[in-house]
Structure 1
């Protein structure tokens, strides 16, 4: 099993003036510790589960470009981009740019979006749920088409692209992996079965059920369930003195037994990069052995 560092909080003790060098230190430390990927949220305000909306938040793709310059190995992605925040042609171009400039390390994380307050506040498109899922499916088709260099005009219900030119092509082959976030059983997991290379689920007692639902969708659409990478959100809180290391490894062992290949998690006080030594010496080797 491999680990992903999810950076979801940028309100750090030294403030915005030191945000860039601290973020660079975190990314470099995670990369060297053996984290297989680094992700950020695609939010423009902080979300309530973490803190007030007024807390510092960075735009996702600008941040991923910055992270690309301060890492060598880790894959880079959003968990996940809200489909209505960017036109699909522009999104495909942004992910392609990230892939080329990072040497083939981009992953496209995509979802139907949920933060209506943020969207309304900044004047972003936020249609009803049904339309957001329609847009998600069209965006998946467009991104796959552009990643493969197909310039055939796209005519959808919500998006129309006269010439979806994408030059240069991504370096990743056959294309930057596409990850869909969310566990909705009727729509989201079916889209995973139809279009995605990976899914991301939240931890909890429902996990096995979600995997069973995904497996059924794969059977329905004629997709090989095993070719979809399963990723999951994990609690990486080490505790005050590293006392939670054993619990983290036990959780990863349980998730690996269910078929999950990557655990994404945030670190409390991520600016304290000494934490990454514990991951490098204890958790990453244990996870890789699973």
Structure 2
């Protein structure tokens, strides 16, 4: 099972770089970056707290951080035309020497759309648009030219050159909707991602496998990735995003459960790992737990 770090973009670039470089030096598999422009509006959250932009971050990290895979978790489809995104992804892959994973999702954060005047359609239209965008991305990144006469995107003999160094460039789709989103994953994704504790991820894997059977896709062709907040030594939050750990032993047991259900990659957000030297020490503890179980 791979293990990767997710440094939050609501911190200075120098801190993100420190985390990414430590991950590369100590044996982590990847570094992931979220695509947001501001914090999600919620009680107790400063809506003006600075957040760095994902496309610039993956290019910057890919240029100076060696070895590890670099990816987006995930680009919101509503924020960029998919033809632009295809060119960004191909360029990022060249910058990092063929280590980029393009993670995409339908888009969801309300306050970003409201502040920037970006349309956030109802769910059906949002997913219709996302499916068309996937056709654009796959066409431009994998075919000599692409023509699409869609409802939302129209391309005529469109090219994206240079192509990524990887052939094909891995495409990750983030989502959890069981009826349609996981079917989209089954049809289009090389990797799938979702937040969740092992029980939740196990259920979603079973749903994804069923969709794969329905569309004639080998489930093994889709790598399964998931994340939860991680506490190395302290109380685990009972509210908010899924969180695991508490003690190293408890963390080890949960990591083993992720492995047992068939997770291919555990992604660790750095939000509860502390800062500075404490964060690097916590990263080392997480990595040693995974290594001790023989999962790397």
TM-score normalized by the length of structure 2: 0.88
Q: Report the more deviating stretch, 70-79 or 43-52.
A: 43-52
1:180-238 C-alpha deviation (Å, 9 max, x unpaired): 11110011100011000111122133322211111111111000011110111133221
From the two aligned structures, give the one with the greater strand fraction: 2
Tell me the SS of whatever aligns to 2:146.
coil
1:5 maps to 5
Equivalents in 1 of 2:159, 2:151: separation in Å?
Answer: 20
More divergent stretch after superposition (204-213 vs 266-275): 266-275
* Structure 1 residues 96 and 288: alpha-carbon distance in aligned structure 2, compared to 1, 3 A threshold: farther
**Quick check: 1:45 aligned with 2:52?**
no
The aligned residue for residue 259 of structure 1 is 262
**Unmatched tracts of structure 2, length 5 or more:** 235-244
CA 1:130–1:168 in 2, change beyond 3 Å: closer, same or farther? same
- Structure 2 residue 238 is matched with structure 1 residue 246: no
1:283: Cα distance to partner?
2.7
Q: Is the 8 A contact 1:38 1:76 kept in 2?
A: yes
Structure 1 match to 2:281: 274
Tell me how far 1:41 sits from its aligned partner: 1.2
Q: Is the 8 A contact 1:126 1:132 kept in 2?
A: yes
Query: 1:134 and 1:266, CA in 2 relative to 1: closer, same or farther beyond 3 A?
Result: same
Q: CA RMSD in A?
A: 2.1
Q: What are the Cα deviations for residues 259-278 of structure 1, in whole angstroms up to 9, with x where unaligned?
A: 10101121222443333333
Q: Is 1:218 equivalent to 2:212 in the alignment?
A: yes
Is 1:150 the counterpart of 2:157? The answer is no
TM-score by length of 1: 0.90
Structure 1 unpaired stretches of 5+: 12-18
Q: Distance in 1 between matches of 2:149 and 2:102?
A: 22
**Higher RCO (Cα < 8 Å, 6 or more apart):** 1
1:136 paired to 2:139: no
SS at the partner of 2:159? Answer: coil
Count of aligned pairs: 281
Superposition deviation, residue 10 in structure 1: 2.5
Residue 234 of structure 2 is aligned to residue 234 of structure 1? no
